[in-house]
Structure 1
């Protein structure tokens, strides 16, 4: 015998969630969300474009200044003397710089004279344009090796910058950038930070040529780019303030516009609720189009016409219901009469009533005949008396 299964109880109650209507979101909120999203997209695009435009404009100006400075300074460096200094370089002092002048103001050797004259020239250029730091270098014999020659900071107190004939081995990518500067102009325009010097920097490299137009070394220039960051920060600050003010104005405008748009819709909604309760006497004249028409006015006009038609139709329907009710009552009475007539009791009662009527008719005929006989006898008696 198969096991019987107990049928599940039919669900007669819906959950609260299914009974709950759709989430109401007002027109104000919808408009505000739409406008904020549009504003965010538009402002984001404008901000990005303006930020990039301002950055590119400043970077182009810095690159132009850097290129002009590189070309001017490298053109003033005597390439023949630079090559002689590198070729005949002696041992630097303990501080890493070449021996200074003698007490009588003369130089120990020709290399010392060339080194300090070029260092003084680079230092002078640094004072003319404080945004720049200058240094010179050549390619080393080892892979990715760079040998530093002179620096514009060698005359600072204390001296700093690249030391004479000091070599460094860089990674392939960094060494490639410096080596490219030995062949042609090369720019490093990605702003970087130097832990020894505050502010962001960009760099440029350009060959140093001798009288035969042969490359004998390269000039490197580190150029202060903190102005770029200042411009970027100013753009950010200005746009943030503008964005806040604009967002506030847009919010106020959206709420005012939403109020203007939702007011007639709210009035129509309330009128529809009252009409749903059977009150068709609603004045929508203040919503219908006047001199200037719009979609809301057209909607109110159509709604007013619809209300009139619905009221008329309901009146007709009520009249038809009354008439139908009368017909239904009459039909019910006829059915009830037919039910009574068709019963045995009613037939028996009908037979008895018919017999009673016939008996009454017979009695009436007999009474009339007696009366006629009596009146006839009286008339004969009178005749005999005469």
Structure 2
């Protein structure tokens, strides 16, 4: 019976320990997957998935790949049992079964033979599909693939808008788990093998001794009771007595001997009690300590005498007392006593705070009522520290150490809930977006950009109090939560402080940088109507609207969200959707404005200008919809459409002999079209499709675009110019370029803004100033086009200044295709009649002579 009981206890404790260990491993795996998916730099992840290329080793030479691999390896260092990788949905496959593509696998830094290759395809499992499609966190239990046996958690990666752009997988090798289970099994077997024989021997010895002595004493007492005062029964060598010894003395000696045996047994049990690896305490129902073992004393730092009759709360951290009392109360008054644990902090004698895991067992009296409870404790401080690190990693931005987007939104929701409970609670959200971060990133690289963001994070933290929250939402976007303010003026003070603080020059790699920020401000409730926000997403949306209004009005300022701003945002959003639809349906049109050779009066080129006839709002000028296209990114698609349409139209006119084959078309290029590598490819493709000669295409780039991104734009323009395409700087004189910098740009023409043309006949200085510009440009072998010519006087002055070309209402307004065709026919007819008259006059003069 003792054997069966002992084996049962050991087996139960073994299974309990094994199951709990496995559950902890799964919890660590799940936390790692979720934390990594929220912490990853989404912009870099998307860029890498779109532009990264694999190398022969199975990885990638792309810096973004190397940076993300290093980041995954750093996470692996925190918990070496966990291996993290990223993947995306493969939308390019033609197979019937859905597939995924692996991106970055931390195994590439550990053992490349176990690593998925960069952009390697694999058949998607239901776990992959659910995570990438539904955004759920999926657990895949023990399975095997070509790299080994694993268990894995998958978590979705979302961009700022919440769209799923990929997923992260956190692996743990089954061999690792099996080895851990074997180690636990081995330790239990060793412990069982060592302790159980000793336990059986002890029970056997004690039972034998006590039974024999008891039987002897029983026989002796029976003999004495029967009148045999000298029975031939041996109790021990000490039981020597004479015939005159009273039987009570004999029984007393027998009981003393039995007491000695029992004392020996207690000492043995006490030795076992004090030498176990866990702390054990026996307590009264009012939480008084009655008995503790040496391990309990060693963990807490008090002696046994100092702990006896002490209340449990005396050694419990004040913040954990109520929760601990509740747990013990539930255990004591529960009708069923299931095995349960509770974690709390204890204060040691030396003041050190440790975390313990406590399990409670109830001791009942003969009437099945609780009498005592036994607490079994063990130190879990290291485990709690590791868990805290994982939680911090899940809630903290890896680069700046500020709270990340997920944690910030949780804080925002909590604050909204408190503000809704108490009407007088007012707080403000400030959304801060840096105005020129991309310039630093492009010019100095990502490492310098990262250092810049860390500096900004420190400056923002200096602008608020300890009660406020500063977070990095992603990229160069930060958020500040002013948790308690009295009025909107308090938020404005902070916004002005931020502008002042970050305007101080930064020095990165020895180079000075000056930045600014666009700040959107929104209050937790409307002070006039007392209407309140209910969810964090609405608050972030309105702060974003206010911030983008600042961007659209020139940046480096702040704006406070209001109802009028929201209505304007809805209008802009509708206009954006209509514009997207118009581009897709081809309901936009190009107008063409002639550029005239001022010397001959002949048509030199045509500038293509986009126009939109909105079905509800009517004819819209470009200034109504081009800023929306710029802000939304539609400008790239719109620009590509304009380029293709203009080239196709010019080629058609050439084929129809409507215009001379030496006439070109000018196409405006937006700044965002230079961001990727598609512009050069699009131009080559368009020229090939339309069969237009490169020399007949002129692209116009504003002066502002070149001055803000000199290196990238200049490289692209040089490649375009090498094709034979001509480059023109548009609106020259309105940006930040100087005449001295013109020689550094690969351009053919300068288009001088109408602001310099219109005042020509008002003062001689204006003429001299423009003459200087024209002369310098021509010395640099650049053609000059003057815009905005509206009068004959302006035309005559520019002709006298030897300006090459002119454009303006004097010659023609921008015209639709049909209007231009009519205009060019009439112009051609007039030119032919003029030449005919000139020839007649010339012949008449010759005849007279």
TM-score, normalised with respect to structure 1: 0.45
Which structure has the larger Rg?
1
Structure having greater relative contact order (Cα 8 Å, sep ≥ 6): 1
Q: In proportion to residue count, which structure has more helix? A: 1
Q: In proportion to residue count, which structure has more strand? A: 2
TM-score, normalised with respect to structure 2: 0.23
